[in-house]
Copies of this chain bind each other. A is one copy, B any other.
Amino acid sequence: MNNYKINLEEKDIPKNYLNIMYYFQKYLGKLPDPPLHPGTKQPAGPADLAPIFPMELIKQEVSLDEFIPVPDEVHEIYKQYRPSPLYRAYNLEKFLGTPAKIYYKYEGNNATGSHKLNTALTQAYYNKQAGVKKIYTETGAGQWGSALSIACNHFGLECEVFMVKTSYENKPYRKVIMNMFGAKVHASPSTETEFGRKILAVEPDSTGSLGMAISEALECVVKSGGTAKYALGSVLNHVLLHQTIIGLEAKKQMEIAECYPDIVIGCCGGGSNFAGIVFPFLADKLSGKVKELEIIGVEPASCPSLTKGEYKYDFGDTAQMTPLLKMYTLGADFMPSPIHAGGLRYHGMAPLVSFIHHEGLMSARAYEQEEVFKVGVDFAKLEGVIPAPESTHAIKAAIDEALRCKETGEAKTILFNLSGHGFLDLKGYEDYLSGKLV
C-alpha cells in the first residue's frame, strides 16, 4: 500500500496564483459579464470599487494575466500551514468496495481550521499596503471572520465582524477565536448600523443572513470616511484567485501520486473553496492539456443557488449596496432556514463559478443536511478527520461517484477539497446524532 499522505515541502508552495480569466479569454474567447453599477447599470469601473477595496485587489478583480504573484510577506506566513496535505482515502475506498481512487486535499490544519486563511492573508496584506487602518467584514458560520481576524492581527489592522445571528448563537467558539485575535464581533442584524436597526424594527427576532451582514459591514465602511475598507471571504474574482493555491498544490501532489483526476469536486457556498481546487484543473481542460475532466459543485438543498437559482444580475447584499453581479442567485433577500446547520448559506454563487456552470463546464447537485452529516460521521470513523459540515457535501458527492464506479467497474480518480475541520461545528453533529436535525 502506498502513502496515505502526500506532503510537499515549503519550497513547493506556489509563488503565483492562477487566474482562470486568462484561460476564459484565450481558450473560450469570452469572459463573464462584468459587474454593473447599481445606479447607472453600466459596467462598474475601478473608481466604483475604490471606496471599499484597495486598488491592488481591484486590479486583480479584472486582471487577465495568467499568473498573479503571491506577495512575499504572505508566502512567508503560508509556510506556517502550507503546503497542505493531500490524502488518499484508502479506508473510505475499502469501505465502499470501489475500484475508484479517492484523494482529498485537506485545508483544516491552521488556526481557522479552513481554507479561508489563504485569501484573508492576501487581502489584509494589500489593505495594509494601501494604508488602510481597519477592515469590516461579515461572516456566516464564522470561518471567514476568524480567518480575517488572524490575517489582520498578522498585519496590524483592526478588524470588525458582523456575524449572522444564528451562527453567533450556535457557534460561539468561532467568536472566541475572533476575539482571541483581537477582532470585534457583532451578531447581525445588529444595532450598530442603520440597516441593522431597520431590520430589527420590523423583525426583532431575525436570525440574520449573509446578505444582511454584508450590508451592515458596507455601511460601516462608507461611514468610516476612507480609513476603513471591506473584505469578502468568497464570491469575488480576487478571492477565488487566492484560493487557487489549493489546486496548484494538489496538481503537484497528484503528479507525485502519478495520477490525474477524472473528477474534481468541491462544495459550493460563495464558491471559493470549490474554485480553489477546481480552477487549476479546469485550466488544463480549457487549454486542451487534458481531454476529459468532470467537475462537480455540491450545495445544500436548503440554499440551492446553482441547482435552483436563476442566472442573472443581482445584488450581493440585502440592502442592495453592492454592484450588480451576474450570477446564479436565489434573490438578494433569500433567507436560508435557521435550522440549517452547515455553512454554505449565501444567496448567490461567485460570478466565475456561475459562468463555468452556465457554459456547461461543470455540473451541480444539492444534498439534504441529514445525508451529509451522516457522511461526515462515516468519514470521521474511516479517515480520522472530523469534517466541517460544508466539506461533507463534497465528501457525499465523492462517495456517490465512487459508488457509481463500483457499478460500472471504472477505476476513476476522484479528487475533492476537504475545506476544513468540524471541531467548531460539533453542535451540528450533536443535533444530527440526537435526531434533532430537520
Contacts of A433 in B (CB 8 A): 176, 179-180
CB within 8 Å of B: which of A165-201?
172-173, 176-177, 179-181
The contact of A110 among B384, B424, B426, by CB within 8 Å, is: B384
Q: Are B4 and A426 in contact (CB under 8 A)?
A: no
Q: Which of A131-139, A240-248, A375-383 contacts B (4 or more CB under 8 A)?
A: A375-383
CB within 8 Å of B: which of A371-400?
377, 380-381, 383-386
Contact with B along A140-156 (1 / 0, CB 8 A): 00000000001001000
A111 at the interface (CB under 8 A from B): yes
A328 at the interface (CB under 8 A from B): no
Q: Are A9 and B3 in contact (CB under 8 A)?
A: yes
Q: Are B153 and A111 in contact (CB under 8 A)?
A: no
Contact with B along A343-387 (1 / 0, CB 8 A): 000000000000000000000000000000000010011011110
Contacts of A380 in B (CB 8 A): 111, 180-181
Contacts of A179 in B (CB 8 A): 430, 433
Would you give the shortest CB distance from A386 to chain B, in whole angstroms? 5
Q: How long is the Cα–Cα vector from A367 to B399 in the complex, in angstroms?
A: 48
A181 and B381 contact, Cβ closer than 8 Å, known pairs A4-B10, A4-B79: yes
A23 at the interface (CB under 8 A from B): no
Would you give the shortest CB distance from A374 to chain B, in whole angstroms? 11
A81 at the interface (CB under 8 A from B): yes
User: Chain B residue with minimal CB distance to A423?
Assistant: B423
Contacts of A426 in B (CB 8 A): 172-173, 176-177, 180, 424
Q: How long is the Cα–Cα vector from A177 to B381 in the complex, in angstroms?
A: 11
Contacts of A386 in B (CB 8 A): 111, 177, 180
Looking at A91, A111, A377, which has the most chain B CB atoms within 10 Å of its CB?
A111
Contact with B along A8-46 (1 / 0, CB 8 A): 011000000000000000000000000000000000000
A180 and B384 contact, Cβ closer than 8 Å, known pairs A4-B79, A5-B10: no
Contacts of A181 in B (CB 8 A): 380-381
Give the 9 A-B residue pairs with the shortest CB-CB distance, closest first: A423-B423, A173-B426, A176-B426, A80-B384, A176-B430, A4-B79, A111-B384, A3-B10, A7-B7
Chain A residues proximal to chain B, CB less than 8 Å: 3-5, 7, 9-10, 77, 79-81, 91, 109-111, 113, 150, 153, 172-173, 176-177, 179-181, 377, 380-381, 383-386, 421, 423-424, 426-427, 429-430, 433
9 contacts between A and B (CB under 8 A): A4-B80, A7-B9, A80-B91, A111-B386, A172-B430, A173-B173, A177-B386, A180-B386, A180-B429
